[in-house]
A and B are shown apart, each in its own frame.
Chain A
Amino acid sequence: MSSILRRREIILFLTGIVGGLMIFEYFFAVKETAAVSSTIQKWAIIISTFALGLGIITAFRVHLSHVKKRTKGQWFFSAWLMGFFVLLTVIGLWNTKFVVYDWTFKNVYVALSTTLYAITGFYIFSAAYRAFRVRNIEAAILIVSGALILLRNAPIGEAIWKGFPILGEWVLMKGQVGGMRTLTFVAAVGLVAFGIRTLLGMERGYYGGGE
């Protein structure tokens, strides 16, 4: 039994069938498939939720080893990570309204998510400094288009020259549309080709290569 279930063809076939069903449901008005496809999507969410445990195993594998080896400058932080995790998980599963959990959620989790989300503000600045150099015509167009949008978005643009927001508005509403449309379009073409290979079981790169 297990030798049959182990065959790659059967596993790839499962991918093809599930994917094919998702596609079929989208294009055809068959009641039964719509219900099945909705159920399948829910199942996928449930399975993915279970995968979190693998993530925790993966993380603990790394941090336990640091603690065991007393890695310099790291083991203390690994121990803290694991200890705090256990504490907070126990509290959270018991009662999410309990003050320790609620306080950590708002002042550590939400605050640091916002902080890291905003860290991009620094990096985008140095990225612009590096990338926006007039090396050739392409780069020049990139700079002019980016600068016009900057001067449209910040009222200071209009304070400098009345024309900036008008030009910026044109770039945003009309000028960029064609190029953006192409990028959307070609990304989909590549995705569909890759998806077809996956569903037909021909894309083996992802499948761990051998066996």
Chain B
Amino acid sequence: MAEVDRRVLYWVMFIALAIPFINPLGLPVPITEMTKAVYDKVESLGPKNIALFSIAGGVSAWPEIAPSMVAVMRHLVKREVKIVVWGFFTDQDITVDMITSNVPELSTKYKYGEDWVYMGYLAGGETAVAALASDVHSVFKADKYGTPTEKLPLIQRVKSAKDVDLVLTVDTGSYITYYIRHWNVGKGTPVAEIGIAMQADQVVFYPANLVGLLIGVRGGAEYEKMIGRLGGGTITMDAINISHLLFIIVIALANIGYVMTRRKK
């Protein structure tokens, strides 16, 4: 019992993950404090405010972060907040396409250049984040589509970190720490994170003021519930429930097997 062929485990997991997509369970998703804090912050913003949506996560992490990205973007659009988008990943254009196709208001209700703007890709890691905090215009001369910044009224208003009311950093790595160091500690701009689950362990002991954190797909599902528009996160939550239950069961079985084989000896 203690030595099951691994492939049995893998097949069980593979099938178990498929079931909830075919036959949703729809267990309720309770709201956690970290997510509520991000929601409340966005809720407090309005048409006069500017939010920065920074993309530092690749397409390969979509299943974990896409639900939160879409839900937060929908909320921003609902509150009519002005949105500046830029990012640090080479495949981010595909991500921006995904967001705009899921949030059609960006092309209907919003006017590009005035209400939202996509500045494109930036290399340079922490140095770049620090530079942007003090002078956006010297880093970006034009947006992604080659329109010079002078012709983009929204980016004209964003000269440095001080002109931004909330940073939402989508992050699968260390960009949250860069934003905390240079935008929050340096300039006092509130920073919130859309992250992958493991970042929770590290962010909580980082000595800084974080507005809140959407922890992976769980955070996305909670956010969808709060904005009242269920989506990918909520659907995936069923798969999370099933798989996590499976982990608990398998760990329990492994221990029963372990204790029994030890008794025999």
Which residue numbers of A lie inside 8 Å of B, CB to CB?
38, 41, 106, 110, 113-114, 117-118, 121-122, 125-126, 128-130, 132-135, 143, 147, 150-151, 153-159, 165, 169, 172-173, 176-177, 180-181
**Inside 8 A of B63's CB, which chain A residues have their CB?**
114, 118
Does B61 lie within 8 Å of A156, measured CB to CB?
no
For residue B10, give the distance in angstroms from its CB to the closest CB of chain A: 5
**Inside 8 A of A126's CB, which chain B residues have their CB?**
6, 9-10
Does B254 lie within 8 Å of A155, measured CB to CB?
no
Q: State which of B42-50, B142-150, B156-164, B241-249 sits at the interface with chain A.
A: B241-249
In the complex, A114→B66 CA distance in Å?
13
In the complex, A176→B198 CA distance in Å?
13
Q: State which of B73-81, B184-192, B200-208 sits at the interface with chain A.
A: B200-208
In the complex, A121→B14 CA distance in Å?
9
Does B255 lie within 8 Å of A153, measured CB to CB?
no
Which of B9, B30, B60 has the most A CB atoms < 10 Å from its CB? B60
In the complex, A180→B127 CA distance in Å?
27
**Inside 8 A of B205's CB, which chain A residues have their CB?**
177, 180-181
For residue A182, give the distance in angstroms from its CB to the closest CB of chain B: 11
Interface residues of B in 127-146 (CB under 8 A from A): 127
Contact of B254 (CB < 8 Å), options: A110, A114, A129, A159? A129
**Inside 8 A of B197's CB, which chain A residues have their CB?**
153
Give me 25 A-to-B residue pairs in the complex whose CB atoms sit less than 8 angstroms apart, sorted by A's number. A110-B59, A113-B58, A113-B59, A114-B62, A121-B13, A121-B243, A122-B9, A122-B13, A122-B14, A125-B250, A129-B250, A130-B254, A132-B254, A132-B255, A133-B254, A147-B248, A150-B247, A151-B244, A154-B240, A155-B28, A156-B245, A172-B201, A173-B204, A177-B204, A180-B201
Count of chain B residues with a beta carbon within 8 Å of a chain A beta carbon: 44
In the complex, A118→B63 CA distance in Å?
10
For residue B238, give the distance in angstroms from its CB to the closest CB of chain A: 9
In the complex, A159→B241 CA distance in Å?
10
Which residue numbers of B lie inside 8 Å of A, CB to CB?
4, 6, 9-10, 13-14, 27-30, 32, 58-63, 91, 94, 127, 197, 200-202, 204-205, 215-216, 218, 237, 240-241, 243-248, 250-251, 254-255, 258-259
Given contacts A118-B63, A153-B240, A156-B241, contact A147 B201 (CB under 8 A): no
**Inside 8 A of B28's CB, which chain A residues have their CB?**
155, 159
Does B60 lie within 8 Å of A134, measured CB to CB?
no
**Inside 8 A of A41's CB, which chain B residues have their CB?**
127
Given contacts A129-B251, A180-B205, contact A110 B60 (CB under 8 A): yes
| Smallest CB gap from A122: residue in B | B10
For residue B9, give the distance in angstroms from its CB to the closest CB of chain A: 5
In the complex, A135→B241 CA distance in Å?
27
Does B200 lie within 8 Å of A133, measured CB to CB?
no
In the complex, A176→B202 CA distance in Å?
10
In the complex, A120→B248 CA distance in Å?
18
| Smallest CB gap from A153: residue in B | B218
Does A153 lie within 8 Å of B201, measured CB to CB?
no
For residue A175, give the distance in angstroms from its CB to the closest CB of chain B: 11
In the complex, A38→B130 CA distance in Å?
13
**Inside 8 A of A114's CB, which chain B residues have their CB?**
59-60, 62-63
**Inside 8 A of A143's CB, which chain B residues have their CB?**
251, 255
Given contacts A110-B94, A129-B251, A132-B255, contact A155 B27 (CB under 8 A): yes
For residue A70, give the distance in angstroms from its CB to the closest CB of chain B: 32
**Inside 8 A of A165's CB, which chain B residues have their CB?**
30, 32
**Inside 8 A of B218's CB, which chain A residues have their CB?**
153-154
**Inside 8 A of B255's CB, which chain A residues have their CB?**
132-134, 143
| Smallest CB gap from A114: residue in B | B60
Pairs of residues from A and B, 5 with the lowest C-beta to C-beta distance, nearest first = A154-B244, A156-B241, A114-B60, A132-B251, A133-B258
Contact of B60 (CB < 8 Å), options: A113, A125, A156? A113
In the complex, A171→B205 CA distance in Å?
12
**Inside 8 A of B94's CB, which chain A residues have their CB?**
106, 110
Does A125 lie within 8 Å of B9, measured CB to CB?
yes
